[in-house]
Amino acid sequence: MTKINRRALLKSTAGASGLALAGSMLGTPLIAQTRSLKVGSYGGYFEDSFKSFVYPAFTEATGIEIESVTQPNSSDWLVTMQQATAAGTVPADVSLYARDALIKASRIGGLLAPLETKNMKASENLDGYFVFEDTTGVIGVGAMSWFTSMVINPEYVETPPASWAEFWDTGQYESSLGISKLHNSNFLDIVAATFFEGEATFASNDGIVALVEKARELKANTALWWSAESQMEQAMKNGDVIGGMYYHDVAQLMAADGFSILSHFPKEGNPQGYGSWCLSTLSEKKAEAEEFINFSSDPATQALMSRMIGTAPLVDKSKTDLTDEEFAAVSGTPAIQPAYEAYLDNETFIKETWDTMLGTS
């Protein structure tokens, strides 16, 4: 999510109209109260945008003041919250957790308080996948999402591939693709969705080996195994690669700046990551937190975040007033759901098998 702060598309929409929309659709201000809530979100442009657009709209609709708390990536924040909980402190009442960090927090236990869905009726707009429940109850409700997508240079590839499988065609793509070199970058999820049984393929070591061996077949077509976003960006701009995998939002910004790049959703879809709002077990602001999460789940707020932050909505487009162009700028269908639990449970084997493949011919 560190890439989200680069979203220049914030500049393309009038903030006042988005704020007015959220206020009008999500309720009128309540009688003045001394209620407040500390909300953690990724820093930089991302947090600034929440402070400028989302939090004021929430306060206007509910009277609850938001104190913004800067949090790092989900994994580091999980460690921070573990230490804080042990010390009896609450850095933030509500925080953002990516799904892998949410699963870890659930397994650790005692960090996240269960939420009452009856107090968050708007969360019914979300697909059940984005409402995370463990033995204690619902401990995470989806906030927003992002995609890693297929990209091509339309100057060299006239017809966007109908399937990821076309990238394995050496006749067209020999030494011309850019693929992430990280074992957990979701490329194996793409392979699983394209050639195997999806997430179920990760259930055994044999399945993981089969995924990696299929990825090995793409080595002849891969000119760049990138580990940093900037590497793929420059390779696309220079014409060193004509396709591969990249971040949907950044590709859209590059295209808006005049570079020849197209972010495309093939028939298998693109991997979708997402963040969830979660409540600290030590927080005394459960009622306020549920109001905030309910507000966040409303289609009007989801559309506001898409316009002003550049995140993909977690509600169906038909429930929002997003235009086709606005929706395409941040989202698409279908979505590939990464094998989060497999990456956590079998991380060492997956990483070693993947790294060995990269290091051998």
* pLDDT, tens only, 52-101: 999 999 999 999 999 999 998 888 999 999 999 999 999 999 999 999 99
Average pLDDT, whole number, for the chain?
92
Is the pLDDT reported for residue 42 higher than 70? yes
Report which residue type is found at 52: S
Q: What does the pLDDT read at residue 16?
A: 38
Domains, in order of start, for the chain: 2-146+272-333 (3.40.190.10), 148-271+336-359 (3.40.190.10)
124: three-class secondary structure by DSSP: helix
Residue-wise burial string across 147-176, b where 16 or more C-beta atoms lie within 10 A, e elsewhere: bbbbbbbeeebeebbeebebbbeeeebeeb
262: three-class secondary structure by DSSP: strand
Reported as a pLDDT band with limits 50, 70 and 90, residue 280 is very high
Reported as a pLDDT band with limits 50, 70 and 90, residue 8 is very low
Reported as a pLDDT band with limits 50, 70 and 90, residue 13 is very low
What's the rounded Cα separation, in Å, for the pair 211 and 201?
A: 8
Q: Which pLDDT tens digit goes with each residue over 308-321? A: 999 999 999 999 99
Please give the share of the chain, as a percent, with pLDDT higher than 70: 91
Is the pLDDT reported for residue 263 higher than 90? yes
- Using CB atoms within 10 A of its CB, is residue 87 exposed (0-12), middle (13-18) or buried (19+)? exposed
- Using CB atoms within 10 A of its CB, is residue 198 exposed (0-12), middle (13-18) or buried (19+)? middle
CA atoms within 13 A on the CB side of 78: 18
Please give the share of the chain, as a percent, with pLDDT higher than 90: 87
Q: Span 246-260, mean pLDDT?
A: 94
Q: What does the pLDDT read at residue 145?
A: 97
DSSP 217-232: TTGGGEEEEESSHHHH
